[in-house]
């Protein structure tokens, strides 16, 4: 016999054969270990539990300001989502500036006395806060009592008026020739006071 020849080149792959039949289902695996217990839930998504309408702890607040000072008033609303804050004040003046959620008043004047309101609003509702502002001022006499000449035993009326906000409490005294002051409590039919005006 002659010598074995060298191996020839590899031929082309033939077409794939038909798909075989599925095999039988294997036996079930072993049961896994029990997991840790989950945390208690209210059934609400965690994002929703934080939603709240605006709330203001002190809805009415009285404040006394000094003339000439600068003051800042805060609405103080707590809510989620954060509330939009708006302000209403008694006069239209450049001294009033809204900075963020606060109202800044510069060079406080007696005309600033009165009510200043803020409103806090978000998608769940709104709430309000009222500042009752008092700016004391020096007493200003608007109407002085006039000298009256009367006969002994005859009735007469005296009136005085102060132009101040808030109005002062007016008290009447009798001043004797020697300068002694005595509170007027007897022989008086009626003492009335309306605002800063008092009638004796």
What's the confidence (pLDDT) of residue 28? 81
C-alpha angle 50/131/104, rounded to 5°?
85
As a whole number, mean pLDDT of residues 47-62 equals 85
* Least confident stretch, 68-77, 152-161, 184-193: 184-193
Q: Cα 155 to chain center, whole Å?
A: 54
Greater model confidence, 56 or 49 = 56
What's the confidence (pLDDT) of residue 161? 80
The pLDDT tens digits for 118-140 are 999 999 999 999 999 998 877 77
Place of tokens 């500036």: 97
0.85 exceeded by pTM: no
Average pLDDT across the chain, whole number: 82
72/143 Cα distance (integer angstroms): 36
The pLDDT tens digits for 74-130 are 999 999 999 999 999 988 899 999 999 999 999 999 889 999 999 999 999 999 999
Per DSSP bridges, beta strands 52-56 and 77-80 are: antiparallel
């Amino acid at each position: 016999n002659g010598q074995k020849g060298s191996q020839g080149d590899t031929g082309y792959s033939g077409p794939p054969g038909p798909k075989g039949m599925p095999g039988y289902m294997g036996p079930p695996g072993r049961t896994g270990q029990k997991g840790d217990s989950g945390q208690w839930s209210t059934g609400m998504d965690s994002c929703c539990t934080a939603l709240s309408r605006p709330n203001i702890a002190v809805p009415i607040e009285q404040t006394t300001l000094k003339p000439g000072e600068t003051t800042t008033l805060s609405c103080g609303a707590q809510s989620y989502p954060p509330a939009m804050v708006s302000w209403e004040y008694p006069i239209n003046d450049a001294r009033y500036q809204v900075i963020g959620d606060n109202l800044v008043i510069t060079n406080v004047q007696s005309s600033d006395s009165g009510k200043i309101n803020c409103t806090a609003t978000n998608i769940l509702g709104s709430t309000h806060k009222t500042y009752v502002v008092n700016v004391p001022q020096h007493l200003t006499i608007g109407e002085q009592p006039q000298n009256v000449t009367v006969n002994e035993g005859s009735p007469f009326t005296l009136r005085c008026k102060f132009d101040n906000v808030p109005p002062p409490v007016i008290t009447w005294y009798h001043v004797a020739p020697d300068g002694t002051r005595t509170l007027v409590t007897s022989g008086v039919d009626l003492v009335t006071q309306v605002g800063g005006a008092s009638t004796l």
